[in-house]
Structure 1
Amino acid sequence: MSNPKKIAIVDDNSFLINAIKEKLSFFEDVVFKYAANNGKEMLQKLEQDKNLDIILMDIEMPIMNGIDATLEIKQRYPQIKIIMLTVFDNDENIFNAIKAGADGYLLKDVDPNSLYQGIQETLSGGAAMTPSIAMKTLKLLRNPFQSEENTNETEEIKLSAREIDVLEQLSKGLSYTIIAENLFLSPSTVRKHIENIYSKLQVHSKLEAIQKAKKNNLI
């Protein structure tokens, strides 16, 4: 096997780690080194073994999220490429991931060939991006975040009962994992609800979502 691509995966969901490993198992030149459940654990493993080419990084994780971990890893090990691999494609995450030094941004439902091509492209100096992410990135460059001060008027916003439940939990400062347990949902379902909430409220962060929801008497 010539020039193997040495890879690590960071995700708090062991099922998704195994799903990613399975996608990469089709390619003989990809060598899976190890996995970590959060950013802090990844940093500890890197201290033991930094012989990696690329890290596939989740964003929403307990203890240390993927964006904070990316910032830290890039400062310590700038030679290692990092692709964010997430269910989220909201503007705030894209913007913060790029600022932190991420080399690519793919969605977790990416097919094996596209994932492999993204890894190859990133290792060749490119930037792997799901098409929808690339479009959002262009829009972000053209239209930086607008201040909420520009939208002071009360708007008619319709959220589902479940989305309001999630928002109320979010306003208490709870993590996605705890919210999932409290509402008997999977963490990925909670993330999808929050993605829909962000879209409906036209916001880019938890704080903005909570402020706008309170302003519009949603919670």
Structure 2
Amino acid sequence: MIRVLLADDEAMIRAGIRSILGTDQGIEVVAEAAGGREAVDLTIAHRPDVVLMDVRMPRLDGLAAAAAIRAMAPEIAVVVLTTFDEDDYVTAALDAGAAGFLLKASDPRELLLAVHAVADGGAYLSPRIAKKVIARWDGGGFANKTAARARIAELTDRERAVLAGVGRGLANQDIAAALFVAESTVKAHVSGILRRLGLTNRVQAAILAHEAGLTGR
């Protein structure tokens, strides 16, 4: 069972999200928050697997709340759920450690896909957001390929293989199957890669993997 906390200051939005999540028997909503500070407190109290966080929240904005949650409980995945797709929001969300970024205008099925993906240790970007991120890769918005390759030079061959899997959007289970290792081994490698490279989350790792040419793009 995937345990989810909803954080949005609009009761009707929370009700709609809860209704969508309720169609999946593998998901349970354990708490709801109407403000950013409340979201942080309830997350620590309930320890959900996933937090769905709105950007514009009272008493602590959603991005600051996401950063606080990731700092105190890095094992909890945060998905930013918002009506805004401006580049500044996307960048700030990734910097805050969000494992996903989803637009409220998205197909409801995307919400379920996102929750399952991040709960399984993966990452999820709304297709519209993914296009923006890819455009930044292609446009050189992130570190260039030479710098990216230099950055991953310290990784072992196995760690690079794991990072390549992350870059392809694979969950830990799929990477483990591809490399014929235990899922726990992949989780340990991912944690080590993030720590050694100074990355906040899998999305940032995926970006670096693309820049370094590990995914074949």
1:43-84 Cα deviation digits (max 9, x unpaired): 22234322x100001001121111101111000000100111
Q: Distance in 2 between matches of 1:85 and 1:138?
A: 20
CA contact (8 A) 1:7 1:33 kept: yes
Match for residue 102 of structure 1 among 75, 98, 105: 98
1:138-194 Cα deviation digits (max 9, x unpaired): 23343549xxxxxxxxxxxxxxxxxxxxxxxxxxxxxxxxxxxxxxxxxxxxxxxxx
Q: How does 1:31-46 map to 2 (within 5 A)?
A: 31-46=28-43
Q: Distance in 1 between matches of 2:122 and 2:128?
A: 17
How far apart are residue 111 of structure 1 and its match?
2.5
Q: How does 1:183-194 map to 2 (within 5 A)?
A: none
Structure 1 stretches lacking a partner, 5+ long: 146-219
SS in 2 for 1:94: helix
Structure 2 stretches lacking a partner, 5+ long: 143-217
How far apart are residue 132 of structure 1 and its match?
0.8
Q: Distance in 1 between matches of 2:78 and 2:113?
A: 14
Q: Distance in 1 between matches of 2:116 and 2:42?
A: 24
CA contact (8 A) 2:55 2:80 kept: yes
Q: Distance in 2 between matches of 1:23 and 1:16?
A: 11
SS in 1 for 2:125: coil
Q: How does 1:1-219 map to 2 (within 5 A)?
A: 4-50=1-47, 52-141=48-137, 142-144=139-141
Q: Distance in 1 between matches of 2:7 and 2:85?
A: 18
CA contact (8 A) 1:95 1:140 kept: no
Structure number with bigger Rg: 1
Look up the equivalent residue of 1:120 and give its one-letter code.
H
How far apart are residue 114 of structure 1 and its match?
1.8
Counting matched residue pairs gives 141
Q: Distance in 2 between matches of 1:99 and 1:30?
A: 27
Look up the equivalent residue of 2:126 and give its one-letter code.
T
Percent identity, aligned pairs only, is 30
CA contact (8 A) 1:10 1:37 kept: yes
SS in 2 for 1:28: coil
Q: Distance in 2 between matches of 1:87 and 1:21?
A: 17
SS in 2 for 1:21: helix
CA contact (8 A) 1:87 1:107 kept: yes
SS in 2 for 1:43: helix
Q: Distance in 1 between matches of 2:11 and 2:140?
A: 37
**TM superposition score normalised by structure 2:** 0.62
1:6-35 Cα deviation digits (max 9, x unpaired): 000111111100000011111111101011
